[in-house]
Chain A
Amino acid sequence: DVKVTQSSRYLVKRTGEKVFLECVQDMDHENMFWYRQDPGLGLRLIYFSYDVKMKEKGDIPEGYSVSREKKERFSLILESASTNQTSMYLCASTTPGANVLTFGAGSRLTVL
């Protein structure tokens, strides 16, 4: 089974802190995604990466950056956390052609 692992399930941070969310997949998938999920708004794409060091902005990239130095690892960075970034963050991966997103367990971030 494809496994997508998010290193932190629950985080509590202060406004202005730098936050790193890590995601690792073990199936050699080219494509990796970061979404955030908020009640009533559904899943919204933050960033997408289709190869090492390659990235594309999603629908809500403001306030976020990403890093993909290795194929299996895709990191989401909040340079200066704000309270409106309190959310559930979901990492996912897929292989071109398969089109099926496999999600990690999620990281619930609270910014105080």
Chain B
Amino acid sequence: QKEVEQNSGPLSVPEGAIASLNCTYSDRGSQSFFWYRQYSGKSPELIMFIYSNGDKEDGRFTAQLNKASQYVSLLIRDSQPSDSATYLCAVNPPSGTYKYIFGTGTRLKVLA
């Protein structure tokens, strides 16, 4: 069974701090990696995607991918109370399949 694992949290950080969310995956052939944010009672919305090893930055968000360690992370700088949500990591297995595998999510609480 191919898996994506996340710590369920809650991860609590003070306002203005850096939040670090982590995700590991088991299928070494995975090619695409996604972070979604989901507010309570709402549907997931895309934050970032990353395909290549290294860092990818978009505003306050940085995704980091290490394929050798099968590890992807999301850093949120200058965390705001509005960032409080559940963050889902998703992995797209090797091309030719469309079975995105989702982690169960990490709940982030940013304390004002």
CA distance A101 to B104 in the complex (A): 17
Say whether A31 faces chain B, with CB atoms less than 8 Å apart.
yes
Cβ–Cβ contact A90 & B43, under 8 A: yes
Cβ–Cβ contact B43 & A101, under 8 A: no
**Cβ of B62: which chain A residues have Cβ within 8 Å of it?**
none
Chain A interface residue number, banded = 20 to 34
Instruction: Give, as a whole number of angstroms, the nearest-CB distance from B88 to chain A.
Output: 7
Q: Nearest 10 A-B pairs (CB), nearest first?
A: A42-B104, A103-B43, A43-B102, A106-B43, A42-B102, A99-B32, A103-B44, A105-B43, A99-B92, A48-B98
Cβ–Cβ contact B34 & A100, under 8 A: yes
CA distance A31 to B98 in the complex (A): 9
**Cβ of B44: which chain A residues have Cβ within 8 Å of it?**
43, 90, 101, 103
Instruction: Give, as a whole number of angstroms, the nearest-CB distance from A29 to chain B.
Output: 12
Q: Number of contacts between A and B (CB, 8 Å)?
A: 43
CB-CB contacts below 8 Å: A32-68 with B:
33, 40-43, 45, 48, 50, 58-59
CA distance A107 to B13 in the complex (A): 31
Say whether A86 faces chain B, with CB atoms less than 8 Å apart.
no
Interface size on B, residues (CB 8 A): 19
Instruction: Give, as a whole number of angstroms, the nearest-CB distance from A104 to chain B.
Output: 6
Q: Enumerate chain B interface residues (CB-CB to A < 8 A).
A: 8, 32, 34, 42-46, 49, 88, 90, 92, 98-100, 102-105
CB-CB contacts below 8 Å: A69-112 with B:
90, 94, 99-106
**Cβ of A58: which chain B residues have Cβ within 8 Å of it?**
99
Apart from A99-B32, A101-B46, 9 more pairs, CB < 8 Å? A43-B44, A43-B102, A45-B100, A59-B99, A99-B49, A101-B100, A103-B43, A103-B44, A105-B42
Cβ–Cβ contact A41 & B34, under 8 A: no
Instruction: Give, as a whole number of angstroms, the nearest-CB distance from A4 to chain B.
Output: 9
Cβ–Cβ contact B45 & A101, under 8 A: no
Residue of B nearest to A48 (CB): B98
Cβ–Cβ contact B46 & A100, under 8 A: yes
CA distance A104 to B45 in the complex (A): 9
